[in-house]
A and B are shown apart, each in its own frame.
Chain A
Amino acid sequence: MTLSASQKEAIAGYAFILPIMSGFLLFLAFPVVASFFVSLADWNLINDPEFAGIGNYIQLFQDPFFWTCLKNTAYFSLFAVLFGMFLSLYLANLIHETKPKGASFFKSSLFLPVILSSVAVALVWQWLLDGQMGMINHLLNMVGLPSVPWLTSPAVALNSVILVAVWRQIGYNMVIFLAALANVPDELYEASSLDGASRFQTFWNVTWPLISPATFFIAVTSIINSFQVFDITTILTNGGPANSTNTLIMMIYQNGFQFFKMGYASGIAYVLFGIILIITAIQTIVSKRWVHS
């Protein structure tokens, strides 16, 4: 039996995608589907799973701790994304507009926190924000200001987490914004400048619409990432004080791998998945009105 050239090519094609497809089925497709079925059961991995219907979901929505974690996660995401995007766009635009000498130094400095592990970043900031011995309170006291209970007050801690998260993500967003800014044709700026537009007007009328695909991309990925915050809150505050920084992923971890409530943990994961899907869908619909294509 001889194969035609196109048959040979098809066989090669399937062979080439076989490794990624098997990994995809095993580690992505199967778990996503399985997660849903596990969420319909009570299962501690020792006894056989017991069908629970939507019991886990009902229990979840009645669990005040879930609402606390959801509120913390949403508050964190909203402000971390807003500040993270605003600052990174501001700085990217500043570098792009002024083309300062040493631009690569500024870029590298701003990018440095991105490459460090979030665990390490959280540890460094835990040291800086330490109530008694931390450098930040030390500096505040030096200029006559009182110490701030950065990590020990339920009213402050989540804001400190946001500060650290923003500090770590500015550089990442900035690099994407800079790439988008570099693609804006110079002629448009020239035209705008000839019309006598101010810098802000130029930004608003020329730059902003043209970089909107990048803005949209960052908005979507930042929201997805920030809803999954785990490393920073685990290290910096371990969810405390008084659960003021406990997040949804931490709740999944605690239920799944400390209490071995696999069904309940999967239920939380699916609710989180649903929330992210809804937010992304809303962003996509809204973006149709402002993203330049």
Chain B
Amino acid sequence: MSTLTVHKPLERAGAYILLSIFAFLMLAPLFWALLTALKPVGAVFDDPFGLSVDTWSLKSFTDVFKTTPFHIYMFNTLKITFFSVIGVVATSALAGYAFARLKFPGRDFLFMLLLATMMIPRQVTLVPTFILMKEFGLIDDHLSLILPGAISVFGMFLMRQFFITVPIDYEEAAKIDGAGVLRRFFQVILPFAGSTIATLVLLQVMAVWNDFLYPMVFLNSELNRTLTLGLAILRGDMDTQWNMLMAAVVISNLPILVAFLITQKFVIKGIATTGLKG
């Protein structure tokens, strides 16, 4: 037993109580949202604490789809997320490998240049990126979100840090067998990178799925909206219809919640990596 572990029963009990309180503070608002979505309209005010299961209904959920094209928002978000993630994995893995393993003039300078820009707040680029997209004719086009979304300096860094740890012997052996760079990358190195790629995918899914400012600036028409935009606009239209609003919150976050519960190991690992020295 490590000396670190607290053994005094009273202290342990105190720790459990504190952690339980915080777990409750985190979960209760989410349960309350779900409960509101399941309750009939009147019950929210008449009987706020009522847990009677027999009155629950999915009416608020169907109402969301009746009043807004929420399934289209869902599809749009899925589409933008899917293509951004494909793009970010491709650009990050290729560049990460090059910066980790290939020798070319200017490599270290370019790498440092990219890293230095990680500090720049994305919003500094908002106005010129908007102008750029306007020039390209991409305003109100999902490509205006997918293209910048396919570039992530952090993703490149994550991949590079992983590739550095793969023993060079594998590659040397492949080199002797006459394998070119492409074959070494795809057949020798990439198969090791599964869990790092999974981490990158999940972090990117979370970032794109939850983005709000960029869709708000770049998209205009109703049928192009993403889930976060749809939620924000639904709130504006249905100001006090909390049942429906909470149902929309549940619908828009359910896919990502399920994805997280299945894969939380990778998400947590990825976030933990960001904080430790690479």
Contacts and interface: CB of A to CB of B under 8 A. Distances in A.
- Same complex origin of A and B: yes
Interface residues of A, number: 101
Contacts of A14: 98, 104
Interface string A130-145: 1001010010000000
Nearest to B205: A115
A10 B257 CA distance: 43
A22 to B, nearest CB: 9
Contacts of A265: 126-127
Contacts of B134: 45
Interface in A209-242: 213-214, 217-218, 224, 227-228, 230-231, 234-235
Contacts of B180: 8, 12
B181 A8 contact: yes
Nearest to A99: B5
A278 interface: no
A118 B276 contact: no
Nearest to B268: A175
Contact of A17 (B48, B95, B242): B95
Q: Max chain B CB contacts within 10 Å: which of A96, A98, A171, A228?
A: A98
Contact of B127 (A16, A38, A135, A183): A38
Contact of A28 (B2, B3, B125): B125
Interface string B266-278: 0110011111110
Interface string B11-43: 110011011101101110110110010000000
A123 B12 contact: no
A129 to B, nearest CB: 10
B177 to A, nearest CB: 14
A272 B110 CA distance: 26
B227 interface: yes
B228 interface: yes
Main SS of the interface on chain B? helix
B38 to A, nearest CB: 14
Contact of B213 (A30, A176, A177, A249): A249
A171 to B, nearest CB: 7
Contacts of A35: 124-125, 127-128
Contacts of A189: 2-4
A211 B117 CA distance: 25
Interface string B116-160: 010111111111111110100000000000011011010010000
Contact of B3 (A10, A113, A193): A193
Nearest to B152: A20
B79 interface: no
Given A20-B114, A115-B260, A269-B127, A124 B102 contact: no
Given A17-B95, A189-B3, A24 B151 contact: yes
Contacts of B15: 94, 97-98, 100
B97 interface: yes
Nearest to B275: A176
B25 A31 contact: no
Contact of B276 (A180, A199, A228): A180
A180 B209 contact: no
Interface stretch (A59-67, A75-83, A148-156, A251-259): A251-259
A243 B22 CA distance: 32
Interface of B: 2-6, 11-12, 15-16, 18-20, 22-23, 25-27, 29-30, 32-33, 36, 44-45, 48, 90-92, 94-95, 97-99, 102-105, 107, 110, 114, 117, 119-132, 134, 147-148, 150-151, 153, 156, 180-182, 185, 206, 209-210, 212-213, 216-217, 227-228, 231-232, 235, 240, 242, 245-246, 249, 252-253, 256-257, 260, 264, 267-268, 271-277
28 contacts: A9-B102, A10-B104, A12-B102, A12-B182, A27-B148, A27-B151, A32-B125, A38-B128, A38-B131, A45-B131, A91-B18, A91-B22, A97-B15, A99-B5, A105-B23, A110-B23, A112-B30, A113-B26, A115-B206, A133-B44, A170-B22, A178-B272, A179-B276, A180-B276, A199-B6, A249-B123, A256-B127, A262-B127
